Chains A and B, each alone.
Chain A
Amino acid sequence: MSDPTILLIEDEVQIRRLVCKALETDGYRVVESGTLGKGLLQLHGAAPQLLILDLGLPDGDGIAFIRELRSQFTLPVLVLSARSAEGEKIRALDAGADDYLTKPFATGELLARVRAQLRRNPAESATPPTHFRFGEVEVDLAQRRVTRGGAAVHLTPIEYRLLLAMLADPGKVLTYRHLLRAVWGNAHSESNHYLRIYVSHLRQKLEADPTQPEYFLTETGIGYRFQI
């Protein structure tokens, strides 16, 4: 399989150069663009496996771009955004972005996120796995069985649905809204604190140290991420 192609849309030349270099050093082929318009053309032309998108582009609304893109493409989208712009991040994630990085970011972190996104992408086309293992925990979807260190763990129906919703998208940032909808359905009337309580239950049952979780990570102000 040839090197994966990554499309980078970012208007700051210096940041573009930096990201390009880091990605190319890691063996990716990079197509770059300074505007959304050109980016859209390259999306069709170069068929990239991943999109890295800066949200503050001068020629349009990055969030609307993601929403439009989602109607045709399934490639993972990694968003670059400034800190203290949580609202923007949530809107981007709800529009279909998969992950975000806050500027300034470490290149090591960027590469790790890129690898994580590329890893989960092919899984979507194949038959979804029915068996998960993280730490001491094993989840068997077919038998609806969860064990920790070999001992069965009892999960309530909501806890189990929440676990499934998180396992379905490992590495992806899941907003409160997304998870509420996944667990309680479209007509959910529960508030975010319901979700927080159940995540805390999951951590207590499945994490070694619930205060410093390894798998069910908090994205403060945005949602959660299940990290294998």
Chain B
Amino acid sequence: MKPAQPSTTKRIAHALNKSQTKSARMTWILAPCGLVTLLVWPLRDVLDPANIAMLYLLTVAFVALRAGKQAAIISALLSTGLLDFFFIHPRLSFSVGDAQYGVTLAVMLVVALIVANLTISLQRQTAAAIERERQSQALYQLASRLAGTTSLEQVSAATRDFLYQSQSCRSMLLMRHNDTLQPVETEHSLDSELQSAAATTAMQMAQTRHMRESECHWLFLPLFGSTYVRGVLAIDLGAMPPSDVDAQQALYEAIASLVAISVERLHFVEVAQRTQLQMTDERLRSSILSALSHDIRTPLTVLYGMSEALAQQSLPQDMRDTVEAMREQTLRLNSMVSNLLDMAKLRTGDLRLNMEWQPLEEVVGASIKLLGTALAQHPVHAALPADLPLLRFDAILIERVLCNLLENAAKYAPSGSAIRIEANTDNSLAHISVCNEGSHFPSDKLDKMFELFERGDAESNIPGIGLGLAICRSIVEAHGGTIRASSNDDSACVTFTLPLGEPPVIEVESEHE
């Protein structure tokens, strides 16, 4: 037996019970009793039988300490017999002359049995305490080894070494990848399909599983994370008897939970590092975005101003056309840059919504005014019901949605056709539509239109890079709404929804002060 093995008292007692020969045990019983009898015989006339009984009790306690319960009981009976035979009158006979000594003998027998029992239970408790001490020592050792680990490989190696050194057990750490288990240290793997199946079951059922297979007794312990089973610790207990396995299972489960804590810790360290990285990343991205937006806008402003200044000169017609085209293209470039920057912000979650309760009418009016000359070819009719409640949205973003939709309608509808803005409500949503006549969406593209860089007609000669509707969708979805396109032969509509929520109550003002 290795010194570091679980040399538990239970194991010793077990070993004693099993391996010691009967004769050895008999020696343990007979020798002390015989010795006491021999030593006391010369003093039989000096010592009172009660005192001799005390010496026998001492012997029983001694035997109990050294040779276990059975031996103690036998020696208790034997001592009582010896006392009666050699030291109680009439000597060298089992008969008891004085009734008094009958009491002495009976008491001695009872006390001897009690002493034997007490001694043994004390011994057991001591052994259990030592075992507990040893286990917590072992767990403490494992915990301190695991505390220093910085990777799953280290956790696996530390656990494996620990179990080998302290328990002489083979072990393996298996981590969950989706729904399968993979050994952390790839040079180790489970020997059979059966073992893998048992390990997977342990993970799925989140229960400890046993598997006996010829010389092996595998124990599969699930590693509980805060949300799900993160993996399985497999321990090969070898030929350990089942009763011992039961006794030790608590220890193995404690080991498994230590490993689980380490795994969990590593997981959260990783999450924290990732978040940190993401934050740095986002900060970088938003500073690049704002620098970009400033640096691109400055030359655009200059270009736009210059082409305007040129347009005011008296120029021949063809040059005037060129200058006008320059001015228009600059504006378009600017709107593309705005769209791209907005999209980037929406995508990176850089945009904080400034949600406020407000009448839809106001943002509709502002959008129409903002587009100005771009809508010159199309009369815009806004038909908003008078009882439309206040809606909660970010005015600037919804203005952007309406502008994009109006611009789109103006771009695709034949010149002179009307554009309508409509709104209505149902139980929980406000539906806002921008419709135009004289053009329609291709029916197979109705859903895809809102995807990034998607255009109704890829070969169309109408400018745009398909960002407008994708931005609309991102904004509307950020508000908790949806957006969809509908179309019939002669008209096209884009409808988006906004949740109605519960508008604040406005106190009605008294008519006179």
Chain A residues close to B by CB (< 8 Å): 12, 14-15, 18-19, 21-22, 25, 56, 82-84, 86, 103-108, 156-158, 191-194, 196-197, 199-200, 210-213, 217-221
Contact A14 B299 (CB under 8 A): yes
The docked-state distance in angstroms from the alpha carbon of A86 to that of B356 is 15
Let me know if A106 and B304 touch, CB within 8 A: yes
CB–CB A211/B302 < 8 A: no
Residue from B338, B366, B382 having most chain A Cβ neighbours under 10 A: B366
Which interface residue of B297, B338, B363, B365 has the most chain A CB atoms within 10 A?
A: B365
B359 touches A220 (CB 8 A): no
Contact flag A83-B298 (CB < 8 Å), given A21-B309, A193-B358, A218-B362: no
* Pair A157/B509 contact, Cβ less than 8 Å: yes
B309 CB contacts on chain A under 8 angstroms: 18, 21-22, 107
Convert B307-342 into 0s and 1s, putting 1 for each residue whose CB lies closer than 8 angstroms to a CB of A: 011001000000000000000001100100010011
Contacts A22-B309, A84-B293, A194-B506 given: A105-B301 contact, CB under 8 Å? yes
Sample of 13 A–B contacts (CB below 8 Å): A14-B299, A56-B294, A82-B294, A104-B330, A156-B510, A191-B357, A200-B359, A211-B361, A218-B369, A219-B366, A220-B363, A220-B366, A221-B395
| B396 interface residue (CB < 8 Å to A) | yes
- Cβ–Cβ contact A217 & B369, under 8 A: yes
**Of B302, B308, B312, B331, the contact of A14 (CB 8 Å cutoff):** B302
A82 to B292 CA separation, bound complex (whole angstroms): 12
Most buried by B among A12, A192, A218, A219: A218
Interface residues of B in 357-407 (CB under 8 A from A): 357-359, 361-366, 368-370, 380, 382, 384, 390, 394-396, 399
Q: 8 Å CB contacts to A: which residues of B277-314?
A: 293-294, 297-306, 308-309, 312
Complex alpha-carbon distance, A86 and B506, angstroms? 27
What 8 pairs between A and B have smallest CB-CB spacing?
Answer: A104-B301, A18-B305, A193-B357, A14-B302, A218-B366, A221-B396, A104-B304, A157-B513
* B511 interfacial contact with A, CB 8 Å: yes
Pairwise interchain contact A84-B361, C-beta atoms closer than 8 A: no
Question: Which residues in B have their C-beta under 8 angstroms from that of A19?
Answer: 305
A199 proximity list for chain B (CB < 8 A): 362
B512 at the interface (CB under 8 A from A): yes
Does A104 contact B363, Cβ atoms closer than 8 Å? no
Once the chains bind, are B512 and A220 in contact (CB under 8 Å)?
Answer: no
B504 at the interface (CB under 8 A from A): yes
Contact of A210 among B361, B369, B394 (CB under 8 A): B361
Chain B: how many interface residues by the 8 Å CB criterion?
51
* Given A19-B305, A22-B305, A156-B509; A197-B338 close (CB under 8 Å): no
A220 adjacent to B302 (CB under 8 Å): no
- B contact set with A: CB distance below 8 Å: 293-294, 297-306, 308-309, 312, 330-331, 334, 338, 341-342, 345, 354, 356-359, 361-366, 368-370, 380, 382, 384, 390, 394-396, 399, 504, 506, 509-513
How far is the CB of B224 from the nearest CB of chain A, in Å? 47
Enumerate chain A residues within 8 angstroms of B509, measured Cβ to Cβ: 156-158
Q: Which residues of B contact A108 (CB under 8 A)?
A: 308
Q: Could you tell me the distance in whole angstroms from the C-beta of B120 to the nearest C-beta in chain A?
A: 82
* CB contact between A218 and one of B300, B330, B341, B365 (< 8 Å): that residue: B365
Q: How far is the CA of A15 from the CA of B304 in the complex (A)?
A: 10
Given contacts A212-B365, A213-B365, contact A82 B293 (CB under 8 A): yes
User: How many Å lie between the Cα of A216 and that of B474 in the bound state?
Assistant: 31
**Overall SS of chain B's interface:** helix
Contact of B359 among A21, A196, A219, A221 (CB under 8 A): A196
A194 to B390 Cα, complex, angstroms: 11
Chain B nearest Cβ from A224, distance in angstroms: 9
User: Given A157, A192, A211, which contacts B358 in the complex, CB threshold below 8 Å?
Assistant: A192
Given A84-B341, A104-B331, A191-B357, 15 new contacts (CB under 8 A): A15-B298, A18-B301, A18-B302, A82-B293, A84-B396, A104-B297, A104-B301, A106-B304, A193-B357, A196-B358, A210-B365, A220-B370, A221-B394, A221-B396, A221-B399
Closest to B358 in A: A196
Q: A84-B342, A218-B365 are in contact. Are A15 and B301 (CB under 8 A)?
A: yes
Q: Looking at the assembled complex, report how far the CB atom of B293 sits from the nearest CB atom of chain A, in whole angstroms.
A: 6
User: Quick check: A14 and B298 within 8 Å, CB to CB?
Assistant: yes
A159 nearest CB neighbor, chain B only: B509
Q: Could you say which residues of chain B place their CB within 8 Å of the CB of A156?
A: 509-511
Q: Is the CB of A193 within 8 A of B305?
A: no
**Residues of B close to A157: CB separation below 8 A:** 509, 512-513
Contacts of B354 in A (CB 8 A): 86, 221
Known: A12-B298, A15-B302, A221-B396. Contact between A200 and B341, CB under 8 A? no
- State in angstroms the CA–CA spacing of A22 and B302 once bound together: 12
Least Cβ–Cβ distance between B357 and chain A, in angstroms: 4
Give bound CA distance, A193 to B504, whole Å: 9
Inter-subunit contact A103/B298 (CB<8 Å):
yes
Query: Known contacts A157-B509, A220-B395; is A18 also within 8 Å of B306 by CB?
Result: yes
CB–CB B305/A107 < 8 A: yes
Instruction: Kindly state the separation between the CA atoms of A199 and B297 in the bound complex, as whole angstroms.
Output: 33
A211 CA to B345 CA, complexed, in Å: 30
A108 to B372, CA, bound (A): 14
Q: Which of B305, B334, B356, B513 has the most CB of A within 10 A?
A: B305
Of B298, B312, B341, the most chain A CB neighbours within 10 A belong to B298
Q: Which residues of B contact A212 (CB under 8 A)?
A: 365, 368-369, 380, 382
Bound Cα distance A192, B368 (Å):
22
Residues of B within 8 A of A84 (CB): 293, 338, 341-342, 345, 396
In Å, the complex CA distance between A29 and B368 comes to 35
| Cross-chain contact A211 with B298 (CB below 8 angstroms) | no
Do residues A86 and B396 form an inter-chain contact, with CB atoms below 8 A?
Answer: yes
State the Cβ distance, A67 to closest chain B Cβ, in Å.
23
Q: Please measure, in the bound complex, the distance between the C-alpha atom of A157 and the C-alpha atom of B510, giving whole angstroms.
A: 8
Query: Closest approach, in angstroms, between the C-beta of A28 and any C-beta of chain B?
Result: 15
How far does the alpha carbon of A30 sit from the alpha carbon of B345 in the complex, in Å?
38
Please give the distance in Å from A211's CB to the nearest CB on chain B. Answer: 4
Complex Cα distance A83/B356, Å?
20
Instruction: Tell me which residues across on chain B come within 8 A of A218, comparing CB atoms.
Output: 362-363, 365-366, 369
A103 to chain B, nearest CB (A): 5
Complex: chain B residue closest to A16, CB-CB: B302
Nearest-neighbour CB distance to chain B for A156, whole angstroms, equals 5
In angstroms, Cα B359 to Cα A120, docked, is: 30
Contact of B297 with A103 in the complex, beta carbons under 8 Å: yes
CB distance B359 to A82 under 8 Å? no
In Å, the complex CA distance between A190 and B382 comes to 29
